[in-house]
Amino acid sequence: MIEMKNVSKWYGATQVLNDCSLNIDKGEVVVVCGPSGSGKSTLIKTINALEPVQKGEIWVDGVAVHDRATNLPKLRSRVGMVFQHFELFPHLTVTDNLTIAQMKVLGRGQDEAKQRGLKMLERVGLTAHKDKFPGQLSGGQQQRVAIARALSMDPIVMLFDEPTSALDPEMVGEVLDVMVGLAAEGMTMMVVTHEMGFARKVSNRVIFMDVGGHILEDTSKDEFFGNIEARQPRTREFLNKILPH
Amino acid sequence: MPALDFSFYTWANISTYLLSGLYFSVSLTIAATIGGIALGTVIALMRLSGIKPLEYAALWYVNLLRSIPLVMVILWFFLLMPSAFYNLFPGDIGQKYRAEICALITFIIFEAAFFSEIVRAGIQSLPRGQTFAGQALGMTYAQNMRYIVLPQAMRNMLPVFLTQTIVLFQDTSLVYAIGAYDILKGFEIMGNTFGRRVETYIMAAVVYFIISFALSMLVKRLNEKIRILR
């Protein structure tokens, strides 16, 4: 579903992705972790070309993302993305947030868009808030709406860029629950997160990135958490810091 | 100094000398604000387009017009625009309202330079993530601007727009240079007619003050409201 071959990216003279390659199959849930500054967020944003790359190839469902001739809006409309800071549109109601791209991008009629959007809103348990503005919702609720917004577009894959990092601790659970449900349904997901509980519970594979944009590990969840002694020193150091003692 | 006498401000005189002038000043302000924001938005989008020729054209437009006194722009346009231009308007409108048409066009051109900077600041002050979110949903650049970026930028900039409109309203008095009949002109003619120029200029100041001050109060309240919304 997603294939990345030898991708490198620079901001000026600073290299932020260094020869990254990875593969995500349909239905897989892959967690990307690593210290800040390791390029995780940049990496996930290259998949829908929010961040362009200077070298390498990225393929999503057979579409060449790195190719300048590719119709990026069309590709992006099929790739759902959830951001650290939710990025709901504050000037639109929850319902309008859910329907605007369906109508303007996918060309759905208002009724169809609304029906689909509200179905997704129900799924994240927020039907009662459909007429509110994002500013009237808690962080956890906003992020659930953001997930519903992405799902309304019927994506073939979902990208999560630190979806719980900006949340108060007591709101992390409600967002993760939605994500666990999605994974259980077979959604292909790539998740940048420090939530190792989530990684352990639902991921198939774990990718570990280190400063400078290197992919240091790309291994099955069981191997990653079950055989810590076999991990790279940098990975062990990182895991020792963030796993509960 | 002779004693002030305001007794000539009868309703009949006000409606004869002042109302049409006030109507023109207010209409010019509103039309130039709307036209200036529309043209200014286009210039701001050119400036941020990332396309070099458009960027430089917009940059020079703004720099040039911000460096020239408005009254000179008005005069130049009035003196240099060939008479044939005014024949483009239907009937004798063009020749009859030459000064008014000239005033409206120059104000839109001039104010667009200022409004474009406000729109640009409004767009640039939006968090980058909003653009990302629109893009990630598959919106094109134009759709993202139209539905996500501009509505928010405009809303955030509303108080600044209004502040600029207050300046614009006061600047409309500059149309005296080309003889358009605005509120100031009305007061001037009234003053000359009744030999009461001091009283008319005092009242003119009062009218400008009341309208501008009322708008400032509105800006203040808007600012408070927007602060709550954020």
Span A77-99, average pLDDT: 95
Q: Do B152 and A105 touch (CB under 8 A)?
A: no
Write down the pLDDT at residue B228. 61
| B158 falls within a domain | yes
Q: Is A194 an interface residue toward B (CB < 8 Å)?
A: no
Residue that wins the pLDDT comparison between B133 and B4: B133
Span B209-229, average pLDDT: 85
Write down the pLDDT at residue B67. 93
Span B99-108, average pLDDT: 92
Write down the pLDDT at residue A82. 96
> What separation in angstroms does the CA of A182 have from each of A8, A154, A168, A222?
31, 12, 22, 21
| B98 falls within a domain | yes
Q: Do A101 and B130 touch (CB under 8 A)?
A: no
Bridge partners (DSSP) listed for residue A32:
A192, A207
Residues of A in contact with B153 (CB under 8 A): none
Residues of B with CB under 8 A from a CB of A: 127, 129-130, 132-140, 143, 147-148, 151-152, 155, 229-230
- Mutate which: A51, A104, A142, vs B, most B CBs within 10 A: A104
Residue of chain A minimizing CA distance to B153: A91
The string over B8-26, giving b where at least 16 C-beta atoms fall within 10 Å of a residue's C-beta and e elsewhere, is: bbeeeeeeebbeebbebbe
Span A50-66, average pLDDT: 92
Range of the domain at B104: 11-229
Instruction: Compute the nearest-CA separation of B133 from chain A (Å).
Output: 6
Q: Is A76 an interface residue toward B (CB < 8 Å)?
A: yes
Write down the pLDDT at residue B230. 55
For residue B204, the tally of other CB atoms under 10 A from its CB is 21
The percent of residues above 70 in pLDDT, for chain A, comes to 99
Instruction: Compute the nearest-CA separation of B23 from chain A (Å).
Output: 35
| B162 falls within a domain | yes
| B121 falls within a domain | yes
Residue that wins the pLDDT comparison between A160 and B8: A160
Q: Which two tokens stand for residue A202?
A: 């639902």
Q: Which of A48, A43, A35, A2 is nearest to A19 (CA)?
A: A43
pLDDT per position as a tens digit, B13-70: 888 888 989 999 999 999 999 999 999 999 999 999 989 999 999 999 999 999 999 9
Residue that wins the pLDDT comparison between A213 and B93: A213
pLDDT per position as a tens digit, A111-167: 999 999 999 999 999 999 999 999 999 999 999 999 999 999 999 999 999 999 999
Q: Is A104 an interface residue toward B (CB < 8 Å)?
A: yes
Question: Of B74-78, B142-146, B149-153, B220-224, which gets the smallest average pLDDT?
Answer: B220-224
Question: Of B53-62, B79-88, B136-145, B175-184, which gets the smallest average pLDDT?
Answer: B79-88
Span B82-107, average pLDDT: 85
Q: Which two tokens stand for residue A156?
A: 């073939």
**Residue of B129, B138, B151 with shortest CB distance to A85:** B129
| B2 falls within a domain | no
Residues of A in contact with B133 (CB under 8 A): 81, 83, 87-89
Question: Of A67-76, A190-199, B23-32, B83-92, which gets the smallest average pLDDT?
Answer: B83-92
Query: How many structural domains does chain B have?
Result: 1
Span A36-57, average pLDDT: 92
| B82 falls within a domain | yes
The rounded mean pLDDT for chain B is 90
Instruction: Compute the nearest-CA separation of A117 from chain B (Å).
Output: 14
Residues of B in contact with A104 (CB under 8 A): 139, 143, 147
Q: Do B230 and A135 touch (CB under 8 A)?
A: yes
CB neighbour list of residue B51: distance below 8 Å, 6 or more residues apart: none
| B6 falls within a domain | no
Q: What is the rounded distance in angstroms from the CA atom of residue A100 to the CA atom of residue A114?
A: 9
pLDDT per position as a tens digit, B159-217: 899 999 999 999 999 998 888 889 999 999 998 988 888 889 999 999 999 999 999 99
Beta carbons of A232 and A57 less than 8 angstroms apart: no
Q: For chain B, how big is the Rg over CA atoms in Å?
A: 21
Span A93-112, average pLDDT: 95
Beta carbons of A221 and A203 less than 8 angstroms apart: yes
Q: CA B168: distance to chain centroid?
A: 4
Beta carbons of A87 and A146 less than 8 angstroms apart: yes
For residue A96, the tally of other CB atoms under 10 A from its CB is 18
Q: What is the rounded distance in angstroms from the CA atom of residue A188 to the CA atom of residue A156?
A: 7
Instruction: Compute the nearest-CA separation of B130 from chain A (Å).
Output: 6
The enclosing domain of B113 has a CATH number of 1.10.3720.10
3-state DSSP assignment of residue A178: helix
Write down the pLDDT at residue A245. 56
Beta carbons of A42 and A51 less than 8 angstroms apart: yes
Query: What region, left, alpha or beta, does residue B58 occupy, with left being phi > 0 and alpha being psi -120 to 50 degrees?
Result: alpha
The rounded mean pLDDT for chain A is 92
Residue A205 has pLDDT above 90, yes or no: yes
Q: Do B147 and A104 touch (CB under 8 A)?
A: yes
Q: What is the rounded distance in angstroms from the CA atom of residue B16 to the CA atom of residue B201?
A: 17
Q: Which of A99, A87, A107, A90 is nearest to A45 (CA)?
A: A87
Q: What is the rounded distance in angstroms from the CA atom of residue B230 to the CA atom of residue B225?
A: 9
| B5 falls within a domain | no
